[in-house]
Amino acid sequence: MRMPEPDPGVIARKAAIVARLREAAPDALVIDAPEEVRAYECDALTAYRCPPLAVVLPASTAEVARVMRACSEEGVKVVPRGAGTSLAGGSLPTEDCVVLGVSRMNRVLEIDTANRFIRVETGRTNLSVTGAVEGLDFFYAPDPSSQLACAIAGNIGMNSGGAHCLKYGVTTNNLLGVTMVLMDGTVVEIGGAHLDAPGLDLLGVICGSEGQLGIVTEATLRILRKPEGARPVLMGFGSNEVAGACVADIIRAGVLPVAIEFMDRPCIRACEDFAHAGYPDVEALLIVEVEGSEAEIAEQLEKILAVAERHAPEVVRESRSAEESALIWKGRKSAFGAMGQIADYICLDGTIPVGELPHVLRRIGELTESYGLAVANVFHAGDGNMHPLILYDANKPGDLEKAEDLGSDILRLCVEVGGCLTGEHGVGVEKRDLMDVQFAREDLEAQLRVKDVFDPRWLLNPAKVFPLPASEGRRAA
């Protein structure tokens, strides 16, 4: 993967720049020792690493604003960072950049159950947002598998989703407002506890903008009352195709489960070995979860099981206790970790129209075979967001490149059948050079223009999201 040449002028001025940052934000942690900035050299896409010039960890919005103004005046690029769990290289530094991390800004600013919102600093982790309101019987709905570690900052950056977004939507549908610092240090307040924008919906374009438009320091998030109960059911099928068809039929039947998760045999095996969740030994597994009172759960499950029966499931198993439910989800949420025990892997994230599931799974199998690699599939089937995990051996020369090529082919396939390159992980550097597959030059140009308005000098999160040639002229200007 190509990255732009670092700016030698900036690197030469490192000492002066660091001194200026310390002066601008006396209470911030400014890290510049080479052995210490290494901790920030990559995110969860560990194949790519680059230590930054320096790292700044401010403690307030005002401090972020002063740091941004200083960087802007010095012409230094800034890479925003939450918890660094991006799987797309979204927070990968460059040699000539300052990493601006919000991890020290993790306070809860306001909890308001009457109006159903919480306001937090964005360094707060996803799970601890729910943690802050759980005692009041509320929760924050978007639940990425990385929720223990990832921050609201990165969730907003990537517009992250989770297993339960079939019913509750993704981050953008649960984000009411932000405080954001622009590259020149201007602080803007957008949205709040009220609904909808008075004018243009800037919040809509900020969410999922991968750190291209500003540093989000505070967020107002929708919280919801916890349902009375929830229960997952496991359904095992003899083939991926049949399981895929069952998903479409459940949706057509007018039931909307909170989650429909899909795993194929290689993934089931790995998760079972790792988490001992009691998964059956089948070709394809669906985890379908419904919510409500006992009676409501029974009513929905009855309809779902009636649909499933038509597809002759090999196994149907309802969870009978909270412990069993937790275990079923533990298995699913540890899928990536479990695969990591077996091999190195690349995690893809394309979305396809639900109806294309059987066809796409078959094609992925064929492609994988032609590359001589192995793939495990785990994904959010209700919304067509796939996560094929391509297994490879990092110690084998050329294997990573081969896996990346297979990944590109699979993502091209997703676009070809009417889907997209990324459903929730974002573009980052990983899918940057594939953007031309999904977008025409004009489509990208429209996106570049939004960036022009928020960050006219293109200093924020350089060389991400857009193919390098598309942004070349702007970055150089």
Partner 1 sequence: MSMTPRDEADVAEAVRAAAARGEPLEIRGGGTRGIGHAVRGTPLALSGLSGITLYEPGALTLVARAGTPLAEVEAALAAEGQRLPFEPWDGRALTGANGAPTLGGMVAVNASGPRRIQAGACRDSLIGVRFVDGTGTIVKNGGRVMKNVTGLDLVKLVAGAHGTLGVLTEVAFKLLPVSHRVATVVLDGLAPEAAGRAMAVAMGAPYDVTGAAHAPAGLGPGPVTLLRLEGFEGAVSHRIAGLTRALAEFGPARVVEGPGDWAALRDMTLFAGRPGAVWRISVKPSDGPALGARLGAAGAEAVVYDWAGGLLTVLADEGLDMRAAMAGISGHATLIRASEEAKARHGVFHPEPAPIAALSAGLRAKFDPKGVLNPGRMVPAPALV
Ligand X SMILES: Cc1cc2nc3c(=O)[nH]c(=O)nc-3n(C[C@H](O)[C@H](O)[C@H](O)COP(=O)(O)OP(=O)(O)OC[C@H]3O[C@@H](n4cnc5c(N)ncnc54)[C@H](O)[C@@H]3O)c2cc1C
Residues of the shown chain interacting with ligand X in the complex, contacts defined by CB under 6 A = 43-44, 79-87, 90-91, 102, 122, 144-146, 150-151, 153-155, 157-158, 160-162, 210-211, 215-216, 336, 424-426, 461
CB of 236 to ligand X, least distance (A): 23
CA distance 476 to 100: 22
Give the range of 44-52, 62-70, 170-178, 327-335 binding partner 1 by CB under 8 A: 170-178
Residue 435 in contact with partner 1, rule: CB under 8 A? yes
Tell me whether residue 13 or residue 81 sits nearer to ligand X (CB atom): 81
Site string for partner 1, 327-356 (x = CB under 8 A): ------------------------xxxxx-
Residue 439, binding choice from partner 1, ligand X, none, Cβ under 5 to 8 Å by partner class:
partner 1
Closest alpha carbon to 173 in 203, 129, 193: 203
CB of 101 to partner 1, least distance (A): 22
- Asked if 222 contacts 174 with a C-beta cutoff of 8 angstroms, the reply is yes
Tell me whether residue 161 or residue 388 sits nearer to ligand X (CB atom): 161
- 167 has which bridge partners? none
Closest alpha carbon to 237 in 203, 220, 216, 260: 260
- Asked if 379 contacts 262 with a C-beta cutoff of 8 angstroms, the reply is yes
Give the range of 94-102, 332-340, 396-404, 447-455 binding partner 1 by CB under 8 A: 447-455
Residue 172, binding choice from ligand X, partner 1, none, Cβ under 5 to 8 Å by partner class:
partner 1
Residue 424's contacts (CB-CB under 8 Å, 6 or more residues apart) are: 144, 158, 159, 160, 161, 170, 349, 385
Tell me whether residue 103 or residue 209 sits nearer to partner 1 (CB atom): 209
Residue 72 in contact with partner 1, rule: CB under 8 A? no
Residue 477 in contact with partner 1, rule: CB under 8 A? no
Site for partner 1 in 99-128 (CB under 8 A): 112-116
Residue 248, binding choice from ligand X, partner 1, none, Cβ under 5 to 8 Å by partner class:
partner 1
Tell me whether residue 269 or residue 475 sits nearer to partner 1 (CB atom): 475
Q: Which of helix, strand or coil describes residue 78? A: strand
Side-by-side strand order, sheet with 215-222 = 108-112, 117-121, 215-222, 175-181, 187-191
Cβ atoms within 10 Å of 106's Cβ, excluding its own: 18
Q: Is 120 exposed, middle or buried (0-12, 13-18, 19+ CB in 10 A)?
A: buried
How are the residues of the chain apportioned to helix, strand and coil, as percentages rounded to the nearest 5? 40, 20, 40
> Two tokens at 213?
């438009």
CB of 34 to ligand X, least distance (A): 21
Residue 144, binding choice from ligand X, partner 1, none, Cβ under 5 to 8 Å by partner class:
ligand X
Residue 2 in contact with partner 1, rule: CB under 8 A? no
- Written in H, E and C, the secondary structure of 11-54 is HHCHHHHHHHHHHHCCCCEEECCHHHHHHHCCCCCCCCCCCCCE
Alpha helical stretches, state H, 310-398: 322-333, 335-342, 357-371
Site for partner 1 in 274-303 (CB under 8 A): 292-293, 295-296, 299-300, 303
CB of 125 to ligand X, least distance (A): 8
